[in-house]
Structure 1
Amino acid sequence: MTVPTTMATDPLFDRLRLDELRRRPGVKWQRVAGDVLPAWVADMDFAVPQVVAEAISDTVHNGDLGYPNWPDGNPLRAGFADRMRERHGWQIAASDVREHTDLIQGLQLLLHLSTKPGDAVAVQTPNYPPFLATIDTMRRKRVNSPWLRTSEGWVPDIAGLADAVASHDCRVLVLVNPHNPTGRVLSREELAEIAAIAHRHDLLVISDEIHAELVFAPHEHVPFASLSKDTAARTVTLSSAGKAFNIAGLRCSVVHYGPRRLLALRDAQPPDLYGVVSPLSVAGTLAAWRHGAEWQNRLMRVLDRNRRRVAEAVREWAGDAAEPMPEATYLYWFRAQHLGLSGNDPVGETLRRAKVLLDGGPGFGPDAEQYLRLNFATSASLLEDILARLGTMARHSRGT
């Protein structure tokens, strides 16, 4: 597929070979047949930053795979505190940070420590399917507060969230910001309104901020816990370098505890009950945070280019009903009807008719049945192939 001349390419990210991608052992490419293009799970197709690869290689070559000696605690703790201060001006203590293998484990631990089966947990939908599944399988009462699709784009229904929290006596709010799957970045004013709800109803807020470093200008990420002392004292922040540097397979995340009682309860658990992160994952994560700026800056220019290209394609399919560009992430959330789909399985229909695997549908919560999520973190040429297949399906559906 020819790349439009208006799309500036970057050799670091655009020289991807399809045959090499298909040989990758990860789930993104191995879950599809040889004629299918995957644009579903939130993994980027790009190679990991060289500084990350070198940090891991150096650790191995130095023979440093024994039990680590970290008398002052895992160095991820200070690394994350430094990262938050440098990027957001958020001053936190390294002693309030802990590490886990991934955000889902962190959420599960927090719900285990702070709630019991039957307790109500509020979540804004659509939302990340593993979070919704976690709440359900842990037998907590999931209280859905839908976002609103307006002429201006996706907006959080703050009044609806307040009503849902009050009417169901919620104990916890799971906040996802930047939002997955819509890509919205909540403004400081919107966050302040949510913080007021949390204060009024004494909620524990579990804030997933893993996409915080994938925000497009002029939007800015505001850590929820940075709003005020009261908000900080009731907020646990989940984060990782996994999404922003394409290293999810390192299985490494961090959790900042605002509530002192909850941190003490966590530390009172048996040592290593919830697993530990490996020295390799620590080395890779710290290298990304400390030395990955050039790679990340180039990445954001490529992702910005790609999201604009997807927006152009969606306008071609949808006309006046086109969907807004995401303000963050490399995920595009749009209505399946733009591709001529109206059934209950838009993912399956897209796979069958276009040979493209997207994500979407009811796993993202109520009212998501007719939505699809497209991962555009790939090369310009592969993105053109994906959009061409989807465009052909859309035109055939319209009879043009």
Structure 2
Amino acid sequence: MSFDQIINRKNTYSMKWDGAQSIYQNSNLIPMWIADMDLKAPEPIISAIRKYAELGIYGYVEYPELTDIPQVIAEWLKKRNNWNVKPENLGYSSGVINGISLAIRALTQENDSIIVQSPLYGHFRSAIEHSKRVLVKNDLIREEKSYFFNWDKLESQIVANHVKMAILCNPHNPTGRVWSPDELRHFVNICQQHQVIILSDDIHSDLILPGYQYYPVASICPEYSNQIITFKSLSKTFNVAGLQFSYYHTTNNTYLKKMKSTAQYSSNPEWPTSFALPALKAAYENPICEKWLQRLLVYLASNLQWLTKEIESKTPAIVTNSQSTYLAWIDVSYLHCSEKDLLHELNNSGIGIQSNKDFGLNNNDGLFIRLNYATSKAVLKQGIQRLINGLNHLHKK
């Protein structure tokens, strides 16, 4: 299977492609916004789904904890992350954000403060505010082409706002930063001093680009693991977000019970879709899938290297040194224009991206775009050319 294959996803109920037409009002647009890939999943996953589909019955699915799935997940985490987890310390949700929302409602009270590092993944804001909690933003420090924690501000904001919970994005979306063991220890030490629960969104943790390494915060700081809940999924890794399944880990049995109890009365039950468990079993057990993942990471790194050189050689834009994911974080502050004008120009140029407002930034923070480069090289080249054309046209105005 070649990642260079161009797959027509139009008229397939795709949020990325069909949904983009209603969002951007441009039927000829190349969508490079939402985080799913234009690349086929590994063949063993496709075969597992096809085999299940041929049953012709798609009834309710057994609770994952009553199956072999917890052991399959535990073995994957040991193999990929050298992280020893007990199957009984796992919980399940229809998605990582749903799981995080569940933890917020189960473990905090209305009007409690929750701190997030900014730029932030927009659904963190939604999960916090829809639960009637208070969002506290701690801006990351930007140096050269990378991002770092602002330690002094992190602690002062925790104290000033009586923060009860912190959401860590590991690796970080949208900047692609992979946190080091020392950074994770420092983060945990601050939270531990002030009795702050940590929710770690690690959904992109399998998508670490060559030369970098991911560390689960709970494995780096086992002494505080009973105050850490780590959220993971196969959805980004193997491009199966539509299967609606994720899992979370904590050594705190009280937290697990509270989350499961809250889930029983929520609109986001723990039940996965019919195809999720067969797909996960194939993804985590079949060695072909892991080989596919290794090839994918090389392909993504090649795409990022090419687009960085292309954009920076033809515009004054600055592409952040991403260490993970398939999302480029690009500084276009040199344009000195409004976000509205930027989006209008790029829409007219035929490319759909996300920008400041989706990541908790305002005009004082500069002007940034997030671009999904997990597509074939042919489509990527078309999209980047449209981006360059739009940026240069706007720069001349």
Give the whole-Å Cα distance in 2 for the aligned partners of 1:317 and 1:39.
19
Q: Which moved more, 1:247-256 or 1:148-157?
A: 148-157
Aligned-partner residue type, residue 136 of structure 2: V
1:36-78 per-position Cα deviation (integer Å, ceiling 9, x unaligned): 1110000101122211111011123245644556796243322
Q: Percent identity?
A: 24
Aligned to 2:346: 351
Distance 1:210 1:270, change over 3 A: closer
Partners of 1:172 and 1:203 within 8 A in 2: yes
Aligned to 2:380: 383
The structure 2 residue matched to 1:336, chosen from 332, 338, 343, is 332
Distance 1:269 1:116, change over 3 A: closer
Distance 1:169 1:35, change over 3 A: same
Following superposition, the deviation at residue 127 of structure 1 comes to 1.1
Give the whole-Å Cα distance in 2 for the aligned partners of 1:104 and 1:243.
13
Give the whole-Å Cα distance in 2 for the aligned partners of 1:48 and 1:378.
12
What count of residue pairs does the alignment treat as equivalent? Answer: 386
Give the whole-Å Cα distance in 2 for the aligned partners of 1:147 and 1:74.
41
Partners of 2:203 and 2:231 within 8 A in 1: yes
SS in 1 for 2:301: helix
Q: Does 1:151 align with 2:151?
A: no
Q: Which moved more, 1:151-160 or 1:230-239?
A: 151-160
Query: Pairwise mapping of residues 160-239 of structure 1 onto structure 2 (< 5 A)?
Result: 160-239=153-232
1:99-149 per-position Cα deviation (integer Å, ceiling 9, x unaligned): 110011101110111111110100001111111111112111111001111
Q: Which runs of 5+ in 2 are unaligned?
A: none
Give the whole-Å Cα distance in 2 for the aligned partners of 1:379 and 1:71.
35
Following superposition, the deviation at residue 237 of structure 1 comes to 0.6
Q: Does 1:315 align with 2:303?
A: no
Following superposition, the deviation at residue 152 of structure 1 comes to 4.8
Give the whole-Å Cα distance in 2 for the aligned partners of 1:208 and 1:244.
14
Aligned to 1:49: 42
Aligned to 1:366: 361
Aligned to 2:126: 133
SS in 2 for 1:21: coil
Structure 1 length normalisation: TM-score? 0.90
The structure 1 residue matched to 2:299, chosen from 293, 299, 302, is 302
Aligned-residue Cα RMSD (Å) equals 2.2
Distance 1:87 1:246, change over 3 A: same
Distance 1:22 1:351, change over 3 A: farther
Aligned to 2:92: 99
SS in 1 for 2:137: strand
1:273-301 per-position Cα deviation (integer Å, ceiling 9, x unaligned): 54111341111122112221122112111
Give the whole-Å Cα distance in 1 for the aligned partners of 2:202 and 2:3.
25
Distance 1:341 1:290, change over 3 A: farther
Give the whole-Å Cα distance in 2 for the aligned partners of 1:71 and 1:284.
13
Partners of 2:342 and 2:394 within 8 A in 1: no
SS in 2 for 1:345: helix
Q: Does 1:13 align with 2:15?
A: no
Give the whole-Å Cα distance in 2 for the aligned partners of 1:366 and 1:69.
42
The structure 2 residue matched to 1:395, chosen from 377, 385, 392, is 392
Aligned-partner residue type, residue 383 of structure 1: L
Give the whole-Å Cα distance in 2 for the aligned partners of 1:121 and 1:322.
31
Distance 1:269 1:122, change over 3 A: closer
Following superposition, the deviation at residue 369 of structure 1 comes to 6.4
SS in 2 for 1:243: helix
Following superposition, the deviation at residue 343 of structure 1 comes to 0.7
Partners of 2:339 and 2:355 within 8 A in 1: no
Structure 2 length normalisation: TM-score? 0.91
Give the whole-Å Cα distance in 2 for the aligned partners of 1:147 and 1:155.
6
Aligned to 1:5: none
Following superposition, the deviation at residue 361 of structure 1 comes to 1.8
Give the whole-Å Cα distance in 1 for the aligned partners of 2:318 and 2:65.
52
Aligned-partner residue type, residue 218 of structure 2: A
Aligned to 2:52: 59
Following superposition, the deviation at residue 254 of structure 1 comes to 0.3
Partners of 1:308 and 1:325 within 8 A in 2: no
Give the whole-Å Cα distance in 1 for the aligned partners of 2:103 and 2:64.
25
